[in-house]
A = this chain, B = another copy of it.
């Protein structure tokens, strides 16, 4: 059911079929380097999140620049990374159900495997699966640091859970999962600082209580692209889980605007190349990508390089461009670049990354075609 790729390496940029998920390789490589430098300077580790890219090719590039492994959100996502050569995966999520636990434990024979836990009832089935497969599984206890999603409460409840993990022979208590997901897209740095200060306090307190009970945290993990500088400087977190920094998206661009340009470390490196398929009126053009090409959970895609054009009213395979405020009017068959509203779920709609070298220049060419290997990895 995977589709054929919309381009081949060596092809001219103009020959890419549409809609296509395009990486500006130059900007992407600069993003990789900038984050690697930032964590190195801060003295923390980077374990980037593969839920953004779902690609072992990209994951291995991150590890070549110093990342210690990858985060994944599902067992099947972790399997796809290990299959592609990634030696260290952390399922930064709760895993429930016998089939999934068996697969996770089996993966522990092929790679270094870690998983999150937030419920005492989940420990025995996990430990039994690990024992059955002769695997040693490392475990982080997830604590709720303000996102109010998964996670036990910080402090004593987390300590009790860590002790229960540590009692299991086939499990190793490795530390805390303390991701504040809600803070990533708070619009101003002041809001993000307040949210992360609270998360740091909750996490730091739990680390101290664990220490008093004789348990040390090799890993204190969390942080996303919106807040990683804050966790880096916290003195509490030591392993960052940012993902989106490699690509960025329109929603992170809105953080940047609200911050008056301070949030500008990373460049847009991910685009959807689309074609104008209909030009019914001078004020309206229709592009060949809609609800099945973009995720709209963080708003519509932004039109790149056509000032005034606004993407609106998506249907399954169409998007309307409102050209009322445009001086330039695109013609039938013209190509247009769009910046996805939210990178992760948009990537998950595509089978292939088309890597372009020299994007924006007359020499732009397709250099690489990488599969989105863990697209649809829901289990």
Contact = CB atoms under 8 A, between A and B. Distances in A.
Interface of A: 1-4, 6, 17-19, 51, 73-74, 76, 93-97, 99-100, 118-119, 121-122, 144, 148-152, 181, 275-280, 284, 286, 288-289, 291-293, 295-297, 313-318, 320, 332-333, 342, 344-345, 348-351, 371-379
B1 A151 contact: no
A312 to B, nearest CB: 11
A202 to B, nearest CB: 14
A280 B144 contact: yes
Contact of A96 (B333, B374, B377): B333
A315 B1 contact: no
A97 B119 CA distance: 54
Of listed A1, A51, A350, residue having the most chain B CB within 10 A: A1
Taken together, the copies of this chain in the complex come to: 2
16 contacts: A3-B377, A6-B378, A19-B378, A93-B277, A93-B318, A96-B288, A118-B278, A119-B278, A148-B280, A150-B278, A291-B344, A291-B345, A292-B376, A296-B296, A317-B378, A349-B378
B76 A3 contact: yes
Most-contacted residue by chain B among A151, A316, A351, A371 (CB, 10 A)? A316
Contacts of A96: 275-277, 288, 332-333
B151 A292 contact: no
B279 A119 contact: yes
B1 A119 contact: no
B348 A378 contact: no
A288 to B, nearest CB: 7
A180 to B, nearest CB: 12
A149 B351 contact: no
A73 B316 contact: yes
A280 B97 contact: no
Contact of A286 (B17, B150, B289, B314): B150
A267 to B, nearest CB: 23
A1 B292 contact: no
B316 A344 contact: yes
A266 to B, nearest CB: 19
List the 4 closest pairs (A to B, CB-CB), nearest first.
A150-B278, A291-B345, A1-B2, A73-B317
Given A121-B332, A150-B278, A349-B348, A181 B19 contact: no
